[in-house]
Amino acid sequence: MKANIVKEASMQRQKDMIAAHFELLARAHETGRKVVYTFVPGNLTELMLAFDTLPVHPEINALQAGMRKQSAGYIAEAERAGHSEDVCTYVKCDIGMMMKGNIGPTGQKLPEPDLLLLSYTGCFTFMKWFELLREQYECPVAMLHVPYQSTGRAEPAMIEYVVKQLRTEVIPKLEAVTGKAFDEDLLRTLLGNSVLAEDDLVHVLESAKHRPSPIDAYFGGVYYIGPLFTAFRGTPEAVEYYRMLREEVDARQAQGLGPITPEGPIDDERFRIVVEGPPNWTHFREFWKMFYDERAVIVASTYTKVGGVYDRGFRHDPERPLETLAEYCLGCYTNLDLATRVEMIVGYIEDYDADGFLINSIKSCNSFSAGQLVMLRAIEERTGRPGCFIETDLVDPRYFSASNIKNRLESYFQMLAQKQTGHEPVEAAS
Amino acid sequence: MGGPVMTKAELLARCEELYEDLDLTSVREWKEQNPGGRAVGYLPTYVPREILHAAGVLPVGILGAGEQLEIVRGDACFQSYICHLPRSVVELGLSGRLDVLDGMIFPSTCDVIRNLSGIWRILFPDKYTRYLDVPQNFAPEVGGAFYEVVLRELWSELCALSGREPDDEALRAAITLYDANRKLVRELYDLRAAEPWRAPASEAYLLLRAGMVLPVEEHTRVLAEYLALVREEERAMVDNARVLLTGAFCEQPPLTLIRTLERAGCDLIDDDFMPVLRWLGHDAGDALETDGDPVRVLAEAYLGDEQESACRFVPDGQPKGARLVETVRRRAAEGVVCAAPSFCDPALLERPMLQSALDEAGIAYTAFKYAENTGQMQPIREQAGTFADTIKLWGDE
Ligand code: SF4
Ligand code: SF4
């Protein structure tokens, strides 16, 4: 592994985009722009942009707080105010941050929401989260109930239900808050931009099928999905960003380079791993290091599909603007049944020729975690590749036990190494 | 429980036997007596039992295994930070205790039950497994129309299971039967609120639990018999604290916990145990006279229901906790016990909102967590005792 990390241009571009967005947010009330809080899974960014609103994603603020080591304090604040230690830590982190003045990742105060757009997709906790925020901000909630794909299919009645809610609940509330009429043509244009960016994102994610993989599809992947999963899908900036990223990744691949890490690129990948579950944010670097020190590259991950499963073929369709938004919401990863999730991971292991898979089970997230041990056994049975199971949390550092996780990963990698050399019979490290 | 009229003690003993019987013997017996009959289990919080009944299916409420079962296989399916209910339900399934059931329905209560539907499909691929979405949009032409489709699908799947044809008359009859049952459940709650010493919560709970496994007609008879018996009975009035319990809509506290609260001086005059028995609180069947379509009647009864629940979105303009405060007032309760299963996101995230509504209304409350297998009652006894004493001593101030 080489010592010096060279920041690629796309990284700087993304940083600039985010900084500009937070700058707009900080000045929103001055400039009269309306602010809509919403969630990443099932986000209706193009629709929000069609009304010229500025999106805020509380989960992103929470993860940023985790990375900046502020989440522990925010969670403690929320628990002092009566929130249970047992519940989703994203919610508590957000509420604690709000109680401490709602200072966002760039150090500027976030504006209060004019509307809470409750895209109720893939997680029941979202509903409680925005009910709690509504009490604090006393602003309206637009509820968009997205049925669960319990059989792995979006049935026509589900799509129709979501479209009707867009027409009768979400759009009227956006119109009321912004004073603007719904412009379907503008929405189509934005959706057209989304498709271009989505094509390029999929190209980037699929580059990991090569050996060596030019990307890390989990630790690096969280950067790659950033613009598309948040405030930028549908914008020309996102189109440019993904084109630039694609070119960089293509160039890396052409030169046979491996993924970039905080300590330089991995050019001699040793293990190819698929990961299920979100990362831990409080110890993101430390966690990543446990992989790159072993030259383990994540070739595919499910977390990078929470805001849309584009690599399985979904693209926004500008010709059917509301239907396509409905299908998008229905298809987000955590809105899929367990069998479909197993199917996807099995597909990744095979298509990306992975040595094994890791489940990072998030203690306080039932949406992702309930059932992962059953998934683990099903995937092992189907693929014959060993899985590893660890528990951490998204933003509560009390639940990240570095030594335990490191020990478990080390034995897992040892087992994979033995398997590669054919010395030992394979057994699951779960 | 047909045959000669039982004494109250016999009635309660029978209900307790049903409560403790994790092998679902009564369901096995029902199937023997009803050749070709099917039985389908359902998880909390709400399923339209009328549809099951109309399809010739016995609805069986599966609420976990309480204190009685050692969990081994269930633990192997779940991570550490999760409520107890899914572990014991999986244990019941893998130990063969649910074999008598021809299928399971998992309503959209929370992510745990949602994902449990997927686990079930993987563990029991040959059994009928249904995830049931209930609407969070309450406009008849939006959420109502969607829910009607869901109900019709459910009905035709269940009919396929039982070999029947969907029959509107059968569904109308089922709605009438369940209305009659809900009416007696309401009477039982009214009696508890008016004269709690006559129908203590620990007795009423057993009566209601029997409704999870008995056919509705029989459960209605049991309720009627109990009500007749206790209304006539001479029973000494006891001056306990009148409290309402909230937060126990899914995983149930053990019976010993309910008894402990009573012994500590709290009369539970209302609660949210087993909401499936009380949702559609008004008589859905009334609408049958004006609307000939029983599926629409059921769907609209759900939309119009006024129950407040952590699993049901409260649209703008209806402050959280308002319903709880109103119930406290209507029932003349003196305080609220906020109970919640450990690791239950819906109940625990709801709690601060309810508590702030109670604070604003000046209503006393106490809060604790439990699991269905909580064994250590001493801390709860002490906490509830102090709460009851406080209410009695300072309640009028
Ligand atoms: S439970 Fe999981 S998916 Fe839901 S808000 Fe929390 S972290 Fe996100
Ligand atoms: S107890 Fe709570 S978290 Fe557990 S299954 Fe029931 S509603 Fe879900």
**Residue A1 predicted with pLDDT over 60:** no
Rounded to the nearest angstrom, the distance between the alpha carbon of B44 and the centre of ligand 2 is 9
User: B112 CB under 6 A from ligand 2?
Assistant: yes
Q: What is the pLDDT of residue A390?
A: 97
> What percentage of chain B carries pLDDT values higher than 70?
98
Q: Could you check whether the bond before residue A212 is cis, i.e. omega within 30 degrees of 0?
A: yes
**Rounded Cα–Cα distance for residues A248 and A204 (Å):** 9
Q: Tell how many helices (H) and how many strands (E) occur in chain B.
A: 14, 8
Range B228-237 average pLDDT: 91
β-sheet bridge partners, residue B336 = B244, B365
E-only strand ranges, A185-257? none
Q: For residue B335, what is the enclosing H or E element?
A: strand B335-341
B306 three-class SS: coil
pLDDT tens-digit map of B103-150: 999 999 999 999 999 999 999 999 999 999 999 999 999 999 999 999
> What ranges do the domains of chain B cover?
21-166, 239-272+309-397
Q: Could you check whether the bond before residue B45 is cis, i.e. omega within 30 degrees of 0?
A: yes
**CB proximity A392 to B under 8 Å:** no
Distances (CA, A) of A36 to A33, A61, A132: 10, 14, 16
pLDDT tens-digit map of B269-284: 999 999 999 987 667 7
Q: What is the pLDDT of residue A236?
A: 97
Are the Cβ atoms of B146 and A370 closer than 8 angstroms? Answer: no
**Rounded Cα–Cα distance for residues A180 and A170 (Å):** 13
For a pocket test of ligand 1, which of A365, A392, A394 has the largest count of ligand atoms closer than 8 A to its C-beta?
Answer: A365
Q: What are the chain B neighbours of A128 within 8 Å (beta carbons)?
A: 310, 345-346, 349-350
Out of B108, B112, B313, the one facing A148 most closely (by C-beta) is B108
Q: What are the chain A neighbours of B343 within 8 Å (beta carbons)?
A: 86
Q: What are the chain A neighbours of B355 within 8 Å (beta carbons)?
A: 82
Please indicate whether the domains covering B21-166 and B239-272+309-397 agree at the CATH topology level.
Answer: yes
User: A65 CB under 6 A from ligand 1?
Assistant: no
**Rounded Cα–Cα distance for residues A225 and A198 (Å):** 10
**Rounded Cα–Cα distance for residues A395 and A280 (Å):** 7
Range A277-297 average pLDDT: 97
pLDDT tens-digit map of A22-81: 999 999 989 999 999 999 999 999 999 999 999 999 999 999 999 999 999 999 999 999
Torsion of CA A402, A407, A411, A414, to 10 degrees: 70
Q: Which residue of B has its CA nearest to A391?
A: B79
For a pocket test of ligand 2, which of B345, B369, B372, B374 has the largest count of ligand atoms closer than 8 A to its C-beta?
Answer: B345
> What percentage of chain B carries pLDDT values higher than 90?
87
Rounded to the nearest angstrom, the distance between the alpha carbon of A315 and the centre of ligand 1 is 25
Mean confidence (pLDDT) of chain B = 94
Pairs of CB atoms within 8 A across A/B: 168
Q: What is the pLDDT of residue A106?
A: 85
β-sheet bridge partners, residue B132 = B107
Confidence of residue A3 (pLDDT cuts 50, 70, 90): very low
Disruptive mutation site among A145, A146, A341 for chain B (greatest number of B CBs within 10 Å): A145
* Neighbour-count burial for A252-268, b at 16+ CB within 10 Å, e otherwise: bbeeebbbbbebebbee
User: B342 CB under 6 A from ligand 2?
Assistant: no
User: B340 CB under 6 A from ligand 2?
Assistant: no
User: A365 CB under 6 A from ligand 1?
Assistant: yes
Range B308-337 average pLDDT: 94
**Atom nearest to A122 CA in ligand 1:** 3
Could you tell me if A391 and B79 are in contact, meaning their C-beta atoms sit under 8 angstroms apart? yes
For a pocket test of ligand 1, which of A368, A369, A395 has the largest count of ligand atoms closer than 8 A to its C-beta?
Answer: A368
**Atom nearest to A278 CA in ligand 1:** 7
Range B309-314 average pLDDT: 93
Q: What are the chain B neighbours of A131 within 8 Å (beta carbons)?
A: 313-314, 320, 350, 353
Q: What is the pLDDT of residue A4?
A: 45
Q: In terms of Cα–Cα distance, which of B152, B67, B19 is closest to B374? A: B67
**CB proximity B358 to A under 8 Å:** no
Are the Cβ atoms of B79 and A370 closer than 8 angstroms? Answer: yes
**CB proximity B78 to A under 8 Å:** yes
Mean confidence (pLDDT) of chain A = 95
Q: What is the pLDDT of residue B291?
A: 77
**Atom nearest to B345 CA in ligand 2:** 3
**Atom nearest to B345 CA in ligand 1:** 1
Are the Cβ atoms of B81 and A165 closer than 8 angstroms? Answer: no
Q: What is the pLDDT of residue B397?
A: 53
Candidates 3.40.50.11890, 3.30.70.60, 3.30.1360.200, 3.90.79.10; CATH matching B21-166? 3.40.50.11890
**Poorest-confidence range of A82-96, A164-178, B66-80?**
B66-80
pLDDT tens-digit map of B285-307: 788 877 789 999 999 999 988 77
Could you tell me if A187 and A50 are in contact, meaning their C-beta atoms sit under 8 angstroms apart? yes
Q: What is the pLDDT of residue B1?
A: 59
Q: What is the pLDDT of residue A424?
A: 54
**Residue A5 predicted with pLDDT over 70:** no
Out of B80, B110, B348, the one facing A124 most closely (by C-beta) is B110
Are the Cβ atoms of A371 and B351 closer than 8 angstroms? Answer: no
Q: What is the pLDDT of residue A2?
A: 42
Confidence of residue A428 (pLDDT cuts 50, 70, 90): very low
Q: At what angle do helices A321-331 and A156-165 cross, to 10 degrees?
A: 110
For a pocket test of ligand 1, which of A95, A118, A121, A123 has the largest count of ligand atoms closer than 8 A to its C-beta?
Answer: A123
Say which residues have a Cβ less than 8 Å from residue B182's Cβ, sequence separation at least 6: B277, B278, B280, B281, B283
Q: What is the pLDDT of residue B234?
A: 87
Rounded to the nearest angstrom, the distance between the alpha carbon of B196 and the centre of ligand 1 is 41
Q: What is the pLDDT of residue A199?
A: 98
* DSSP secondary structure string for all residues of A263-301: T----S--EEEEEESPPPSTTHHHHHHHHHTTTEEEEEE
What is the least distance, in Å, from the CA of B81 to any CA of chain A?
A: 6
**CB proximity A216 to B under 8 Å:** no
pLDDT tens-digit map of A179-191: 999 999 999 999 9
Q: Among the bound ligands, name the one nearest to the CA of residue B350.
A: 2
**Rounded Cα–Cα distance for residues A147 and A337 (Å):** 11
CATH domain B239-272+309-397 topology: Rossmann fold (3.40.50)
Say which residues have a Cβ less than 8 Å from residue B190's Cβ, sequence separation at least 6: none
Q: What is the pLDDT of residue B396?
A: 57
**Residue A6 predicted with pLDDT over 60:** no
* Residue A329 in tokens: 């919401």
Higher per-residue confidence, B317 vs A166: A166
Confidence of residue B160 (pLDDT cuts 50, 70, 90): very high
Q: What is the pLDDT of residue B123?
A: 96
| A242 Cα distance to chain centroid | 16
**CB proximity A398 to B under 8 Å:** no
**Poorest-confidence range of A43-47, A184-188, A381-385, B233-237?**
B233-237
Q: What does R_g of chain B's alpha carbons equal in angstroms? A: 20
**Rounded Cα–Cα distance for residues A207 and A216 (Å):** 10
**Residue A327 predicted with pLDDT over 80:** yes
Q: What is the pLDDT of residue B308?
A: 84
**Rounded Cα–Cα distance for residues A225 and A221 (Å):** 6
User: B110 CB under 6 A from ligand 2?
Assistant: yes
* Residue B190 in tokens: 């009214």
**Atom nearest to B310 CA in ligand 2:** 7
pTM attached to this predicted model = 0.96
Q: For residue B188, what is the enclosing H or E element?
A: helix B168-194
Say which residues have a Cβ less than 8 Å from residue B146's Cβ, sequence separation at least 6: A147, A157, A158, A160, A161, A164, B133, B135, B137
Confidence of residue B79 (pLDDT cuts 50, 70, 90): confident
Q: What is the pLDDT of residue A378?
A: 97
**CB proximity A117 to B under 8 Å:** no
**Rounded Cα–Cα distance for residues B90 and B78 (Å):** 10
E-only strand ranges, B93-252? 103-107, 128-132, 241-246
Q: What are the chain A neighbours of B112 within 8 Å (beta carbons)?
A: 366, 370
**Rounded Cα–Cα distance for residues B192 and B202 (Å):** 11
pLDDT tens-digit map of B25-64: 999 999 999 999 999 999 999 999 999 999 999 999 999 9
Q: What is the pLDDT of residue A154?
A: 97
Rounded to the nearest angstrom, the distance between the alpha carbon of B344 and the centre of ligand 1 is 13
